[in-house]
Amino acid sequence: MKSPCIDICAFDRRTGWCRGCGRTVPEIRAWKKAQPHQLRKISADLPRRLSKLEKSNASHEQNEARD
């Protein structure tokens, strides 16, 4: 399975998820050696993670604009 990396490697401190692909550092490191079922499980969760990060960023930006 192809890596979901989009070369935007910045990690959210609260969740540990990459803001580009949604994976954690351990998931990124293990990607090439992981079993297909593990890759499918991680891949299936990435849209939810990225959506959560996006909502968190939008909320943070709104709070900064108020200050």
User: What's the rounded Cα separation, in Å, for the pair 25 and 27?
Assistant: 5
Residue 4 clears pLDDT 70, i.e. is over it: yes
User: What's the rounded Cα separation, in Å, for the pair 38 and 32?
Assistant: 11
Residue 63 clears pLDDT 70, i.e. is over it: no
pTM: 0.83
Residue 58 backbone class (left: φ over 0; alpha: ψ -120 to 50; beta: rest): alpha
Q: Tokens in use for 37?
A: 């079922």
For position 64, what pLDDT does the model report? Answer: 65
Query: Which pLDDT tens digit goes with each residue over 25-51?
Result: 999 999 999 999 999 999 999 999 999
Residues contacting residue 27 through CB under 8 Å, at least 6 positions apart? 34, 42
For position 56, what pLDDT does the model report? Answer: 87
For position 61, what pLDDT does the model report? Answer: 66
For position 58, what pLDDT does the model report? Answer: 75
